[in-house]
Amino acid sequence: MNSAKKILLVEDDQDIATLLRLNLQDEGYQIVHEANGTQALVQLEKQVWDAVILDLMLPGVDGLEICRRIRQMTRYLPVIIISARTSETHRVLGLEMGADDYLPKPFSVLELIARVKALFRRQEAMGQNIRMEGGSISCHGLDIDPLSREVRLRGEMVELTPREFDLLYWFARHPGEVFSRLALLDRVWGYQHEGYEHTVNTHINRLRIKIEHDPAEPEIILTVWGKGYKFASDKAESLS
């Protein structure tokens, strides 16, 4: 239930923080607000959180550094970045640092709430799938372990952001199936909004750089022109 979800809101603009806190509390979430990056890190160490909503430009430690430290933790913690930095470079950098989502300011509070709900739905669905299916997936020289969220390519560790892992794992579980960009947004990101399809393109391009022998001529994640993308069929095995 939403009432069990505890969210750390890190935002130095008091008006924005108050607006978000009140609306998120109305949805049943427990919200703790910190306006200072250094104090936010203290809160992260003191308590167990279900998600973090994180501004980038903060007094003390900045948001990107906080995101980087969150990804060094052993427990996976979802992160949504909210920022006035709206350039594609900043969005890509935030995602590379391990953010699950990036929402540029100004944004609709209703959209942020929808993103939070979608994040929790996706996390729960992924957890259920892992519990039901268990084991790793081995294909195309990749070993994908959903429990440790680790990927190895021909024995070498591949560093993926949380969303890159989820996208790869989804593809690997559905080899040969074609998914449109909107379908991938719905199934992997947990929401379906036209205009965000470029996010799928960006993640697939980064995945190809990390797992393909030649990203310009991919052999694993294939483009199906006019339809979307598919994961090349392979004699994949589920390892017990």
The dihedral built from the CA positions of residue 117, 147, 149 and 79, taken in this order, carries a sign that is positive
For the segment 196-211, what is each residue's pLDDT rounded down to a tens digit? Answer: 677 888 889 999 999 9
DSSP H stretches of helix in the chain: 14-26, 37-46, 63-70, 88-96, 109-133, 162-173, 181-184, 197-211
Q: What is the pLDDT of residue 236?
A: 43
Q: What is the pLDDT of residue 83?
A: 87
Cβ contact 112:27 at 8 Å? no
What is the spatial distance between Cα 79 and Cα 77, in angstroms, rounded to a whole number?
6
Q: Which residues contact 239 (CB under 8 A, 6 or more apart)?
A: 135, 136, 137, 138
Segments of the chain scoring below 70 in pLDDT: 1-3, 74, 86-89, 125-135, 191-196, 235-240
Indicate yes or no: pTM above 0.75: no
For the segment 40-74, what is each residue's pLDDT rounded down to a tens digit? Answer: 999 998 888 999 999 999 999 999 899 888 887 76
Q: What is the pLDDT of residue 148?
A: 82
User: Closest by alpha carbon to 41, among 19, 15, 73?
Assistant: 73
Q: What is the pLDDT of residue 240?
A: 32
